[in-house]
Amino acid sequence: ETGVTQTPRHLVMGMTNKKSLKCEQHLGHNAMYWYKQSAKKPLELMFVYSLEERVENNSVPSRFSPECPNSSHLFLHLHTLQPEDSALYLCASSQDEASGNYNEQFFGPGTRLTVL
Amino acid sequence: AQSVAQPEDQVNVAEGNPLTVKCTYSVSGNPYLFWYVQYPNRGLQFLLKYITGDNLVKGSYGFEAEFNKSQTSFHLKKPSALVSDSALYFCLRGSYIPTFGRGTSLIVHP
């Protein structure tokens, strides 16, 4: 156990559905991340919430919407997804410092998403 | 843009032999470099990191990595491979937007 949990572990959804992925960290960290891992691409950073700022990868489609209500919880809201969005979605957390991101990230087990 | 490269998609090694998984980084400032391992159907696990100080960094499960500034490399090494080391290995450059390498599949044969 890494101290980062993700639910659900598996999700199958149609293209017209709306669903949310949840991540929770029990490590007292101040930064949380969403990554997409697909078979043909490297790990792709989608969103970061760090030191109360949100950073996003500009290539992420608007059908993905993050929410970070507090430093322990992170959501990824999904709507009108496409089959190519099928992937493993990983959440991570770390303790970031204003002087630099030199602390390791702790990853959850991921949510395996299949879009039909 | 800062980046990391893992030039090998797959590395094969016999059990008991030394292993090396390669990582190079783009030259820009002082890099924070990390190695992670991913076992099937699992999230990534931290192995080791270089921030500053000694160029040889020791980490979990007997792994180590050497930071080489002149060659802009941070190769992961282990003196004697185990079959259980078979997994996917990722190099990461820590920054405002962290960047992972493509990953290298390590296969250790009995």
Q: State how far the alpha carbon of A87 is from the alpha carbons of A7, A52, A72, A94, in Å.
A: 15, 28, 24, 23
Amino acid at A44: E
Q: Is the pLDDT of residue B104 over 90?
A: yes
Q: List CB contacts (< 8 A) between A29 and chain B.
A: none
pLDDT over 90 for what percent of chain A? 72
**Contact in structure between A90 and A78 (CB atoms under 8 Å):** no
Q: What chain A residue is nearest to B4 in terms of C-alpha separation?
A: A42
Residue whose token pair is 């430093």: A71
For residue B89, give how far its alpha carbon lies from the nearest alpha carbon of chain A (Å). 11
Closest C-alpha among B58, B28, B44 to residue A6: B44
Q: Count of CB atoms within 10 A of residue B10's CB? A: 10
From the list B34, B90, B102, the residue facing A104 with the nearest CB is B34
- Higher-pLDDT residue of B105 and A40 is B105
Can you tell me whether residue A81 is helix, strand or coil?
A: coil
Q: List CB contacts (< 8 A) between B97 and chain A.
A: 45, 48, 55, 57
Predicted local confidence at residue B1, as pLDDT: 63
Q: What is the β-pairing status of strands A106-107 and A73-79?
A: unpaired
CB pairs under 8 A between A and B: 54
Calculate mean pLDDT across residues A12-37: 94
For residue A30, give how far its alpha carbon lies from the nearest alpha carbon of chain B (Å). 14
Residues of A engaging B, defined by a Cβ cutoff of 8 Å: 2, 4, 33, 42-43, 45, 48, 55, 57, 90, 92, 100-102, 104-110
* Confidence tier at A89 by pLDDT (50, 70, 90): very high
* Confidence tier at A69 by pLDDT (50, 70, 90): very high
Q: What chain A residue is nearest to B42 in terms of C-alpha separation?
A: A109
User: How does pLDDT run across A41-56, given as a tens digit for each residue?
Assistant: 778 999 999 877 888 8
For chain A, the straight-line distance linking the first and the last C-alpha, in angstroms and rounded, comes to 31
Q: What chain B residue is nearest to A91 in terms of C-alpha separation?
A: B43
- Kindly determine whether residue A107 and residue B45, on different chains, have CB atoms separated by under 8 Å: yes
SS (H, E, C) chain B: CCCEECCCCEEEEECCCCEEECCEECCCCCCEEEEEEECCCCCEEEEEEECCCCCEEECHHHCEEEEECCCCEEEEEECCCCHHHCEEEEEEEECCCCEECCCEEEEEEC
User: How does pLDDT run across B47-102, given as a tens digit for each residue?
Assistant: 999 998 889 999 999 999 999 999 999 999 999 999 999 999 999 998 777 889 99
For residue B25, give how far its alpha carbon lies from the nearest alpha carbon of chain A (Å). 15
Q: Among A22-26, A77-81, A96-100, which stretch is predicted with the lowest mean pLDDT?
A: A96-100
